[in-house]
Amino acid sequence: MSPSQAAGPAPRHILLACPQRIGDVLLATPLARSLKHAWPAAAIDLLVFAGTEGVLAANPDIAQVIAVPPRSGFAANFRLLRRLWRHYDLALTPLPTDRARLYCWAAGRRRLGFLQPRWQERSKTLLLNQWLRFDDRDTHSVSMGLRLAQLLDIAPCFEVVPPGLAPRQLEAFQEKLGKLINKTPFCVLHPCPKYRYKMWPQAAWSGLAAWLAGRGLSVAITGSAEPVEMAYVNQIVRGQPGTIVNLAGTLSLAETAELIRHAQLYVGPDTAVTHIAAATGTPTIALFGPSNPVKWGPWPHAWKRFESPWQRSGSARQGNVFLLQGPGDCVPCLHEGCDRHLDSRSDCLDALTLEQVKQAAEKMLSG
């Protein structure tokens, strides 16, 4: 850690830079909430990659979302840095990336962030006034970000904030929801992650949907509008009873969060929507394979401490989340599936049986 600096006056403008995937942005919301609780009068802007800003919809802690292209040329980057230049009293990032640190360096009079343990270059430390070593294995992403709250000597808020709807949007969606689900108890399945190596088998999802419908529950299946994902969901729905509603490609992230809030149960793989489900407080089953649960397990709604809710190996339940891990001595391998690429199979998820998921669902529904 660099030498501590005097606290000084309360910051009026704060930039939180999180140019990464949707899940990273969502898991940065506890840090944003900590900043807002510490300095209620401050305007907090969040800088993210375009395409991830939907996870911040109606977030009451954020004044402005700055969405930047994931890839851009020198001229565009120069214009952005010029726009940000020393506009903020405080700029910080929960990410250990050069790009996030550069944004903080340009934007903030005071700058906080992380360095990877292997990085010792003086040039990287010069971008920040204060920095911490980043732990990518044994510290949960939520806890990692909240270490910056400790560095600022402010109280940490452990609440992950899911996306929301404005009042008029909420009223319209609830009316739409009543027609879709017919006001009966329902569950939400989100079967398709962004990458193949996090998938549970299609036949198992079909079996789970049929089993839930057989228990008298309506089943809503969600997914993005990506053609591959919609085709995958269509295969699951095909031949199922009429109590299954296919909502793939029809909902925003905020509408998906609102749908899940009203559900009796949510089941999904290691994906951003599963993190959203956990944050809503709905009983959530998360299907994990190669990924490290200590770092990426869904943060239970009522979890209020720095220790990760999860061990590296083994299934467990914490609060409203049941994390089911596939079997195998190599699990979690921390790789992109058995073939080490995004479109790989994962034997551990293929070996996670429908019966195991049904047993977990019974416990969550009865609880």
Sheet with 108-115: strands ordered across: 64-68, 43-49, 13-17, 88-92, 108-115, 130-133
Q: What is the pLDDT of residue 174?
A: 85
Q: pLDDT class for 183, splitting at 50, 70, 90? A: low
Residue that is written with structure tokens 């790989």 in the block: 344
pLDDT digits (tens, 9 = 90+) for 259-289: 999 999 999 999 999 999 999 999 999 999 9
Q: pLDDT class for 8, splitting at 50, 70, 90? A: low
Q: pLDDT class for 5, splitting at 50, 70, 90? A: very low
Q: What is the pLDDT of residue 243?
A: 76
In the chain, domain spans? 13-151, 167-366
Q: What is the pLDDT of residue 213?
A: 92
Structure tokens at 245: 């509603």
pLDDT digits (tens, 9 = 90+) for 68-115: 999 988 899 899 999 999 999 999 999 999 999 999 999 999 999 999
CA angle in degrees (0–180, nearest 5) for 94-77-35: 30
What does the DSSP assignment read for 63-118? SEEEEE-SS--HHHHHHHHHHHTT-EEEEE-SS--HHHHHHHHHHEEEEEEEE-TT
The reply to whether domains 13-151 and 167-366 share a CATH topology is yes
> Bridge-partner residues for 90, per DSSP?
14, 110
Distance CA 36, CA 180 (A): 37
Lowest mean pLDDT among 29-33, 171-175, 280-284, 304-308: 171-175
Neighbours of 200 (CB within 10 A): 24
In CATH, what number does 13-151 get? 3.40.50.2000
> Bridge-partner residues for 45, per DSSP?
15, 64
pLDDT > 90: what percent of the chain? 85
> How large is the average pLDDT for residues 43-52?
97
* pTM for this entry: 0.94
Q: What is the pLDDT of residue 179?
A: 77
Q: How far is CA 96 from the centre of its chain?
A: 17
> How large is the average pLDDT for residues 190-210?
94
pLDDT value at 121 more than 70: no
Q: What is the pLDDT of residue 2?
A: 39
Neighbours of 356 (CB within 10 A): 16
Q: What is the pLDDT of residue 120?
A: 55
> How large is the average pLDDT for residues 57-65?
98
Q: What is the pLDDT of residue 74?
A: 87
pLDDT digits (tens, 9 = 90+) for 11-28: 999 999 999 999 999 999
pLDDT > 70: what percent of the chain? 95
pLDDT digits (tens, 9 = 90+) for 219-260: 999 999 999 999 999 999 887 767 789 999 999 999 999 999
Q: What is the pLDDT of residue 259?
A: 95
Q: What is the pLDDT of residue 6?
A: 40
Q: What is the pLDDT of residue 33?
A: 98
pLDDT value at 34 more than 50: yes
Q: What is the pLDDT of residue 1?
A: 41
Q: pLDDT class for 117, splitting at 50, 70, 90? A: confident
Domain 167-366 fold is Rossmann fold (3.40.50)
